[in-house]
Amino acid sequence: MKYVMHAVVFLFLIISPFSSIAQLDRKEKKIVKSVDKHEAESLELLTKAVNINSGTMNFEGVKQVGKLFQAELDNLGFETQLTDGDAYGRAGHLVATHMGKPGLKLLLIGHLDTVFETDSPFQSSTMVNDTVMKAPGVADMKGGDVIIILAMKALKEAGVLKDMSVKIVMTGDEEKSGDPIDLSKKELTDAARWADVALGFENGDGNPETIVVARRGSSSWKLEVTGNAAHSSQIFSDKVGVGAIYETSRILNQFYDELASEENLTFNPGFIVGGTSLDLQQDGTGGAALGKTNVVAQSTIVRGDIRAVSPEQLEQAKQTMTRIVSENYPGTKASISFDKGGYPPLAKTNGNLELLKYYDEISQQLGYGKVYPVDPRNAGAADISFTAGHVKMAVDGLGLSGADDHTVNETGNINKLGVQAKRAAILMYRLSRL
């Protein structure tokens, strides 16, 4: 009996992937075959892309990567354009459009730039082993861009792309947004207003068993505090008060006491400068202070960021922080301002969860297992957040899994190129039929 059971288990392990594939329709099986056929050439495209430096401020490099992907999309019948980013101080974006029959409209999001500028020591790709590539931007997110193209090829060869309406936006400034940000993201937000569903091909949290249904937004704040300059022997007196540094410490500590325990909310003071006089750098990255141990500090400035998972959470946190700032210690004044730019939150919605349900079902039918939502604390801000409030459904993290993004040790799991392309292509095909 034991041998019979072993045989049954062995037979199940052999046939279960094929029984899963059997749940796909004829077009979906063609999609799978096409991805398999083109996976090797997609790896070549990825290798070529990651060996082009496209740090955000290397405009020529960003444009070169854009032209590389533009040629691929041109061959697939998309109408493509490399936009001009001069108005917001960046290289511009790649926008590609394919118009099919009236019906559901899809927006696919990628980006061309990386965090590795021309002075970075990390400029080229190497193979760690047969399944892992170490390269600048391989996971964040040239791997995702290549997956978009591979999925489009599969949809075309399956004969279904001709009926689909798809817009692809690959931005040139995701890692360091242009200014003003509303102008730098205009092509993206315009596309979101046009679309019904947005799919982002970032890396997510590096786990191919997850996708992102909610992303925290990111914006910055500035705290400015003033006190009465005086000899230190007079601190705490009615005339002098406590000085700017004590007031600043009260405010930051109260931020922590009242808000630090709130789920998915973070607020980080990135730098603080305080003393008798301040000299701040124009780019807002720091500065210097002058003071003496026997002089009460007159001025303090703190710069930081705040991240929230929904617009409502962000607004409530801003109100709490503003109230705390207004409750001043004696002899001090303080104000806080929040930048209008930054990345909005992508809140978890029923539509996003419905997309997860579709994607999870497809993954299991392909034999790749279940898919789970990413904890928003493990997913930073990304371009898909600019679709919030415009589309009915949105998810991110459909790109190439990897590790150590934004570091010189960044890697991508190249054995997942085909897996991700199959799951994404079939998802798009099924959505187009709704």
CB 336, CB 321: distance < 8 Å: yes
Q: CA dihedral in degrees (406, 171, 149, 210; nearest 10)?
A: 50
H/E stretch holding 429 reads helix 417-432
| Mean model confidence pLDDT for the chain | 93
For 255-309, the pLDDT digits (tens) are 999 999 999 999 999 999 999 999 988 877 889 999 999 999 999 999 999 999 9
What's 130's DSSP letter?
A: S
Domain boundaries, the chain: 24-215+346-432, 217-338
Task: Specify the pLDDT at position 374.
Answer: 93
Report, as an integer, the average pLDDT of 403-422. Answer: 97
At 21, is the pLDDT very low, low, confident or very high (cuts 50, 70, 90)?
low
For 157-205, the pLDDT digits (tens) are 999 999 999 999 999 999 999 999 999 999 999 999 999 999 999 998 8
Q: Which CATH number fits domain 24-215+346-432: 3.40.630.30, 3.40.630.10, 1.10.3720.10, 3.40.47.10?
A: 3.40.630.10
d(CA 144, CA 146): 5
d(CA 302, CA 240): 22
Residue 73, helix vs strand vs coil: helix
pLDDT value at 138 more than 80? yes
At 13, is the pLDDT very low, low, confident or very high (cuts 50, 70, 90)?
very low
**β-pairing verdict for 105-111 and 197-200:** parallel
CA-based nearest residue to 42, from 150, 131, 136, 125: 150
At 1, is the pLDDT very low, low, confident or very high (cuts 50, 70, 90)?
very low
CB 263, CB 249: distance < 8 Å: no
Architecture category of domain 217-338 in CATH: 2-Layer Sandwich (3.30)
